[in-house]
Amino acid sequence: MATVKKDISESTERIDAVKEIVKDRASKIDSVDRSYSPLSTGKSWRELEFSHPERVIRLGTMFSGIGAIEQAFHRLKLNFQIAFAGDIDANCKKSYFANYDIKEEDWFTDAREFDASKYKGKVDIIVGGAPCQAFSMVGRRLGFEDARGTLFYEFARVIKETEPKVFIFENVKGLTNHDGGRTWQVMQDIFHDLGYDLHYRVLNSKDYGIPQHRERLFCIGFRKPTKFAFPAPVELEYRMYDFLEDYIDTKYFLKEKGIKFVTSHKNREKCYTQINGEVALCEKRNQQFNWHGDFVFHPVAEGEPTDEAFDEFIFNVKDVEEKYYLSEKVAKYVLSSGTKNFKTSTETDLDVARPLLHSMHKMHRAGVDNYITFKGRIRKLTPRECLRLMGFKDDFKIVVSDTSMYQEAGNSIVVDVLIALLKQMDITKYGK
């Protein structure tokens, strides 16, 4: 979910009206429902198959960021059309348009000015995570008093105007206990008033294949009463380290040294090697020992049994640029255990990453961000590694600055959790 850069104390007639509606609803709440929807006890979501894979799903997103749900559909190889999307961050728009097929007229900038009524009956699913800073436990937790908190109401308004068959609303875990649970109860009541059958639960990314501690509230609304249980956790097979280096162990794949040699500027320029060439170079009898020649980029060796869970996380090996390494002065700061009144963990090289934050471009303390060591040196994660830890594959194009990419990755929804949800609900049932 993207950051809204407007002042948190912003006051307009519209925002003030939303605050009054929410306050009035909150004052009438007699009891708070704190019960989570159950987890599935049936077949694992990884083993589930889509009932209508040929169908096209029409998708609308709010606070779209860099398109986490779009990436989920892409990775699942499902047919989908983007009905509308939007974000107030201009850099998010650059990233979105570079990676997804959308018309300019179907993009909006400010959710408060977006009239979605023309999409009524033309959207199957709407996904969005209204800016969470108003409810985050690491923020000031002003809730609806924070202008960003009122953007939830715009999400609900778009649901009302478009009447999708299903929606997914994502937010921080802290939303569930804000104001003693009354804030979340108001939101639930609004969704119920719109006629949706609600199911919600807090899910952690590390339970769905991504080695990152990231707890988020996921609320799914169905237009028709639906029996639904959230996807059960699966065993974590990867460490954060796996997202940093190439871990493929097969004789037909080059190791790091070989890749650097084959892809070197010198060899490519003099045509000693080629990758995915249309016409093969001269074959040699010592081909199995020779690094000059033809090479094919392929995520799976030919004839190797396909293992989707494994294939998903095959990444290219690249040298990490010097700029990502911490200077001695900065390293001393981020690895400080704290002050007399504030202590923090300085552990590096974690198996499961700490939550990625939109402020990763700033060099925070080790207790806040993720730092790794290499040959005695300390560096931060690269933007590409951050994208991987959010579930974005390497074909996602980076077209913005490092600073913006860190922010966009940290604000996103983890793609793998969305994949689990789409498989569990069998999203193809709602396509056309």
pLDDT at 172: 86
Mind listing the pLDDT tens digit of every residue in the chain (432 residues)? Answer: 444 444 434 555 665 666 666 666 666 677 777 789 999 999 999 999 999 999 999 999 999 999 999 999 999 999 999 999 999 999 999 999 999 999 999 999 998 889 999 999 999 999 998 764 544 444 443 334 444 457 888 898 899 999 999 999 999 888 888 777 888 888 888 899 899 999 999 999 999 999 998 899 999 999 999 999 999 999 999 888 778 744 333 444 566 666 667 667 666 666 667 666 555 555 444 544 556 665 656 444 444 444 444 345 556 656 777 888 888 888 888 888 877 777 888 899 999 999 998 888 887 777 788 998 877 778 888 888 889 989 999 899 999 998 899 889 988 999 999 999 999 999 999 999
pLDDT at 168: 98
Q: For the chain, how many residues are written?
A: 432
Distance CA 238, CA 208 (A): 11
Q: Go through the domains of the chain in sequence order and give each one's CATH number.
A: 13-237+414-430 (3.40.50.150), 240-311 (no CATH), 322-409 (no CATH)
Distance CA 26, CA 180 (A): 11
pLDDT at 364: 78
- DSSP 8-state assignment for residue 381: P
Closest CA to 68 of 316, 410, 331, 428: 410
Q: For residue 257, what is the enclosing H or E element? A: helix 256-262
Distance CA 138, CA 342 (A): 15
Distance CA 59, CA 136 (A): 27
219 is catalytic: no
SS3 per residue for 58-98: EEEEECCCCCHHHHHHHHHCCEEEEEEEECCCHHHHHHHHH
| Options 132, 219, 271, 386, the catalytic residue | 132
- pTM for the model stands at 0.77
What is the number of alpha carbons within 13 Å of residue 354 lying toward its C-beta? 20
Closest CA to 358 of 405, 419, 306, 324: 405
Per DSSP, the three-state class of 125 is strand
27's CB contacts (< 8 A; 6+ apart) are: none
pLDDT at 122: 97
pLDDT at 79: 97
Cα 52 from chain centre: 25
- The first and second tokens of residue 83, run together, are 């009905």
- DSSP 8-state assignment for residue 230: B
